[in-house]
Amino acid sequence: MKQSFRSRILLSGLISATVASAGYAHASGFSIPTPLKIDAGPIGKVNVQGVVSGMGFLQSNPSGLGLNGKNAGADISSGLISINKSTGLIQFNLTVGAYNFPSLGEPFSSTSSTISDFGALPLAYVTIAPMSNFSVSIGKLPSLLGYTGSFTYERMNIEGGFPWYLQTTVSRGVQVNYSMGPVSASVSWNDGYYTNRYNVVSGLVTYAINSDNSISIYGMGNAGHTGNINSTTRYSPNGYVNGELALDNSQMYGAYYTYTGSNFTITPEVQYIHTPKSLALGTSAGSQNISAMIHGAYDINSNWSIAAGIDYEHSSQSETNGIYFGYGPGSSALGVMITPTYTNDRYFIRDELSYVRLSNYTKGIGDDNRPDQIRDILETGFWF
């Protein structure tokens, strides 16, 4: 895709010039083998599991430099080892290695550049669990926001959908988890979009209606303010520092419902973001973004499954000098993807075909104004 299509954050006016603990909700991509249990002496038994996978892609409308400037390419999708202890008073989780976060309608980033976002240790936290229904976690924590996991093996589909792209991925902070009967809740004080400023509050509440149905509500907001127009915060997965800071100063609310049957799972999700005007970030207008998805997966037999998703997003029509999350003020995007998967013991292979179509998008950011993209991704790998 060219820049006009792939830019998820349009900074107009002045801005444009410059897995295991309670409370973590991730979509299961496919059947994951049981981890190895190793006796770690005084620590007790720990779970150890690794995954190695690569992906190749074909796409129309490429743009930019590096991987996304190609009609065809390949890279590592996961090269990770997870070590965790999920029992006892003191628990922990360490995930180390290489990773990539492909996303629907978004430019590909090389795995090496993606690793620079959170380092070679993307998750590292300790959990104190004095009771079976209460725990406190501290460290580099996975997001509480949304249904879709960040790593590809946590997803029904290879690509993350529209709601996922604007959610936090990893934050540093402290999190409290509590459950009582069918209700579980987590609240976190963290640094939001990895800004290293600890003023963001996020939360997740899940109600298990029965063994097959549940509903979750999540939210995030900044208790203070992060950054200004001259900020040099390094982490910015979409390439715009001030856009990332605008997200960090936004309010996000969302909900998703999950039905899980014996061989079928479906989840609709809706998400709303409000970004107030900010003199510190040089904006004179607020903006809104709403996104929604329906993702589902069906197990055909013990080896084959198929997943599919429909995603939609719309950005508000606002005045000049606002910040817009999407493809420009008043823009809309519709995306679909389908992903058949084959697994055999510890080996897996899957192929995803996706299509994205834009409406009322902003032209002239890059050198191409084509409003659609077709992409095919083949991912294969194994667990160890």
What is the full DSSP assignment across 186-254?
A: EEEEE-TTT-S---EEEEEEEEE-SSSEEEEEEEEEESS----TT------TTS-HHHHHHHHTSEEEE
pLDDT digits (tens, 9 = 90+) for 68-126: 888 999 999 999 999 999 999 999 999 999 999 999 988 888 999 899 889 999 999 99
At 226 the pLDDT is 79
Give the Cα separation of 151 and 159 in Å (integer): 9
Number of H helices, E strands in the chain: 5, 19
CATH of domain 3-383: 2.40.160.10
Give the pLDDT confidence score for residue 29 in this predicted structure.
58
Q: Residue range 365-381: average pLDDT?
A: 78
* Strand 72-85, strand 90-99: pairing: antiparallel
Chain centroid, CA 3 distance in Å: 21
Cβ–Cβ under 8 Å, residues 144 and 25: yes
- The whole-angstrom separation of Cα 264 and Cα 345 is 20
Burial 348-359 (b: 16+ CB within 10 A, else e): bebbbebbbebe
How do the domains of the chain map onto residue ranges?
3-383
Is 53 a residue whose pLDDT tops 70? yes
CA dihedral for 34, 305, 145, 196, sign (positive or negative): positive
The confidence band for 8, taking pLDDT boundaries of 50, 70 and 90, is very low
Determine which helix (DSSP H) or strand (DSSP E) holds 174, and give its type and residue range.
strand 170-180
Element (H, E) at 6: helix 3-6
What is the pLDDT at residue 367? Answer: 36
Q: Which of 346, 342, 264 is nearest to 303 (CA)?
A: 342
Q: How far apart are CA 84 and CA 211, in angstroms?
A: 26
Cross-strand pairs, 229: none
Asked if 113 contacts 235 with a C-beta cutoff of 8 angstroms, the reply is no
What residue has token string 């973004």? 289
Torsion of CA 67, 68, 71, 72, to 10 degrees: 30
- Taking the C-alpha atoms of residue 135 and residue 204, their distance in angstroms, rounded to an integer, is 15
Identify the three-state secondary structure at position 33. Answer: coil
pLDDT, average across residues 187-194: 94
**Is residue 227 within 8 Å of 179, Cβ to Cβ?**
no
pLDDT for position 322: 55
Q: Write out pLDDT tens, residues 214-235.
A: 999 999 999 988 776 666 554 3
Mean pLDDT over residues 362-383, rounded?
77
> DSSP label at 361?
P
Confidence (pLDDT) at 195:
87
pLDDT averaged over every residue in the chain: 85
Among all chains, which residue has been given the structure tokens 């995603």?
Answer: 311
